[in-house]
Amino acid sequence: MSEDRRKEIVRHLSEDDLNRLLAESTDEKLTERLIFIKRLYKGATLEDAADDVGRSSGTGTRWARRWNEGGLGLLMPNFGGGRPPKLGEDQRERLLELLRDGQPWKKQEIQHLINEEFGVEFHPVYLSTFLDKLGLSYAIPRTKRPSRAENAEEVLDERVGDAFDEEPDDAPHNKRDGDDEKGWVVDEEIRTDGGTVLGFLDTSHPQPWDNSQRLYTVDDPHITRPLVKLDEPAVGFYALNGQSVVSFPEDQTKERICECLEGVREQNPGQRILLVLDNFSSHVCEYTRRRAHQLGIDLVFLPVGSPDLNPIEQVWKSLKWEASPLIVESAAEYRALLTELFEQLTTQLSFAASWIDEYLGGYLQKLR
């Protein structure tokens, strides 16, 4: 029986980088060597890893030694015509300047730029690793709305601070110049002296046919679903330190939105509620702002064109992902499923972790 030799392997690349290189590789030799390294990452012996790709243990020993000494460059000596070329520090800084000026870029465009500017040609597979080490992000660019202020984060920070710093005797938080003077009184049965609840409100339109998960199938990848449609929107309140609520009003008129606010108040009695939301017409109108004040709810409006500053957006994204492979027989069943998922997801503060760090630093003690 051969000795169980487990090679100490240097992790020049993360497992995610290794998987991406494998997914992008069209070179048979490169693929088998990357599979070999991946097996060593997973704890396989040299013999087993080599055998998995149809190679001898001696070949596996050489591959492992080359990888440990020089990573992908030595593992593939003919990789793009020799060891992957490297740019000097000054060249890398110049490349970053060029990339920053013309971003975003496709990988092929970057490859062409490096070739034209520096006379260097990277193998397409190695280029991904090089760009990662350079600090570039590889993601779907977030659409920036023309109406978004350049200082949107500063504007929101100021609005959150103003809301927390208000005193009970100050003018109604939701009232604006030009509003009718009547009706800006908190309902008699409403108490707001038991601390502060902070949460986020937003509307979404999940549907039973939304597919956002990749699933394994043997044959044609499809799911047969009943013809179920959800006609009404889902309005959610994601509370950081109170009770989260989701409801399904028949529409998004100001009257229905106010009913949703009444539901938020009912589930969070006795505290002042700070509610962060966008500038949808039914949210910003005087009718809604006044009714919110009557309920003891102070509205903190996001800067225009800044939905990314509302953490509940990530809750909706996760909810749709979780629900996508599930099959329901009716709209009622789908609403019940969404309610259950929303209640589960909103127990997690992770969706708002960066928001808390950014905007609540000095106010956490004011939350009950």
Beta partners for residue 204, in sequence order: 234
The per-residue DSSP string of 214-257 comes to: ----SSS-----------S-EEEEEESSS--EEE--SS-SHHHH
Give residue 2's pLDDT.
43
Are 351 and 263 in the same domain? yes
Give residue 29's pLDDT.
80
Identify whether 108 is part of a domain: no
Report CA-CA distances (Å) from 341 to 91, 117, 242, 262, 315.
50, 51, 17, 22, 10
CA–CA gap between residue 130 and residue 86 (Å, rounded): 9
Are 177 and 66 in the same domain? no
Are 330 and 259 in the same domain? yes
Give residue 3's pLDDT.
47
CB 339 within 8 A of CB 238: no
Domain region containing 287? 152-213+222-366
Number of separate domains in the chain: 2
Q: What is the CATH number of the domain that holds 232?
A: 3.30.420.10
Are 157 and 133 in the same domain? no
Are 157 and 67 in the same domain? no
Are 129 and 188 in the same domain? no
Weakly modelled stretches of the chain, pLDDT under 70: 1-7, 77-86, 125, 140-147, 209-227, 368
Identify whether 147 is part of a domain: no
Residue 213 has which token pair?
Answer: 């998960």
Identify whether 240 is part of a domain: yes
The domain boundary residue, chosen from 76, 111, 140: 140
Are 25 and 167 in the same domain? no
Identify whether 338 is part of a domain: yes
CA–CA gap between residue 142 and residue 122 (Å, rounded): 28
CA–CA gap between residue 198 and residue 344 (Å, rounded): 18
Identify whether 100 is part of a domain: no
Give residue 82's pLDDT.
40
Give residue 115's pLDDT.
80
Are 52 and 173 in the same domain? no
Identify whether 189 is part of a domain: yes
Identify whether 98 is part of a domain: no
**Which contiguous run of DSSP H or E holds residue 274?**
strand 272-277
Identify whether 146 is part of a domain: no
Strand 245-247 with 272-277, pairing: unpaired
Residue 314 has which token pair?
Answer: 């990530």
Judged on CB neighbours under 10 Å (0-12, 13-18, 19+), 82 is exposed
Are 161 and 291 in the same domain? yes
Are 129 and 191 in the same domain? no
Give residue 109's pLDDT.
84
Are 348 and 246 in the same domain? yes
| Prediction pTM value | 0.62
For the segment 117-167, what is each residue's pLDDT rounded down to a tens digit? 887 777 776 788 788 888 888 776 666 566 677 889 999 999 999 999 888
Are 356 and 229 in the same domain? yes
